[in-house]
Amino acid sequence: MFTAVSNAIEAERVLYPGSFVDISPSFVFDSAVYVDSDKRAKKFFADEEGVLQIIAEHEEAPDEPDLTFLHADYTSKLDLPDQDVDLLISLFAGFVSDHCTEHLRIGGTLLVNGSHGDAGLVSIDPRYDLEAVVIARAGEYRVSTANLDTYLVPKKSQEVTRERILASGRGIAYRVPAFAYLFTRTD
Ligand SMILES: C[S@@+](CC[C@H](N)C(=O)[O-])C[C@H]1O[C@@H](n2cnc3c(N)ncnc32)[C@H](O)[C@@H]1O
């Protein structure tokens, strides 16, 4: 998926809150900051040589990947500058967009999936515009900008509100679901 995303957007520096041990962004992006509060993630990233070895096994990997791990709760203030990254990743890890958008540069991209409700939250966040979707088929991923208005339409006719999404902590069932969504931060 990250290969497809990296071909579709301009990004060098990535922030991945709730990454656990998913270092696949570093297979294609030059610089990444991973954040997780789990002790097992801390232990995994402490083995720097092992992590670099996994990355080096990938054909497209940068020659000298730049990697940082923060053992932190992303809902607290992270020790990172504002507007520091080009790509913010929110996959299966809660309301990342709600807590970490300040670190994404304006014009940068948020990659978010429907799980845990973050895509729903972003769909009503005025700081973001939907730019593309990631479609997964038979293990292949592609980024599409076709028929964007058909996505993020709930199956049930219900008002999508911030309060409702935060209270449920679950994704919304959409008529046409995508594997993930690419939003641009506009404000
Ligand atoms: C289901 S795993 C997903 C891991 C990874 N994003 C993936 O797609 O493979 C969720 C991860 O988010 C982390 N997480 C959830 N809330 C967090 C928070 N507030 N701060 C830091 N990490 C968090 C958990 O520790 C866990 O490792």
Residue 30, C-beta contacts closer than 8 angstroms, at least 6 positions apart: 12, 13, 62, 65, 66
Q: Is the CB of 20 under 6 A from ligand 1?
A: yes
Question: Distance from the CA of 152 to the center of ligand 1, in angstroms?
Answer: 23
To the nearest 10 degrees (0 to 180), the angle between helices 39-46 and 48-56 is: 80
Q: Is the CB of 37 under 6 A from ligand 1?
A: yes
Task: In whole angstroms, give the CA distance from residue 82 to residue 3.
Answer: 26
Q: Ligand 1, closest atom to CA 16?
A: 6
What confidence score (pLDDT) does residue 124 get?
96
Q: Ligand 1, closest atom to CA 40?
A: 27
Q: Is 91 within 8 Å of 111 (Cβ atoms)?
A: yes
Tell me the average pLDDT across 2-12.
97
Tell me the average pLDDT across 136-146.
97
Whether residue 116 is predicted with pLDDT greater than 90 in this model: the reply is: no
Which residue among 2, 19, 71 has the greatest number of ligand 1 atoms within 8 angstroms of its CB, and so is best to mutate? 19
Nearest residue to 6 via CA among 109, 98, 100, 107: 109
What confidence score (pLDDT) does residue 146 get?
98
What confidence score (pLDDT) does residue 57 get?
96
Q: Is the CB of 18 under 6 A from ligand 1?
A: yes
Write the pLDDT tens digit of every residue in 66-102.
Answer: 999 999 999 999 999 999 999 999 999 999 999 999 9
- Residue 49 sits at φ, ψ, to 5 deg, of -60, -45
Tell me the average pLDDT across 26-32.
98
What confidence score (pLDDT) does residue 43 get?
98
Question: Distance from the CA of 137 to the center of ligand 1, in angstroms?
Answer: 25
Tell me the average pLDDT across 52-62.
95
Question: Distance from the CA of 102 to the center of ligand 1, in angstroms?
Answer: 19
Burial of 20 (0-12, 13-18, 19+ CB in 10 A): middle
Q: What is the dihedral of CA 81, 111, 148, 117, to 10 degrees?
A: -100
Q: Is the CB of 179 under 6 A from ligand 1?
A: no
Domains plus CATH for the chain?
2-185 (3.40.50)
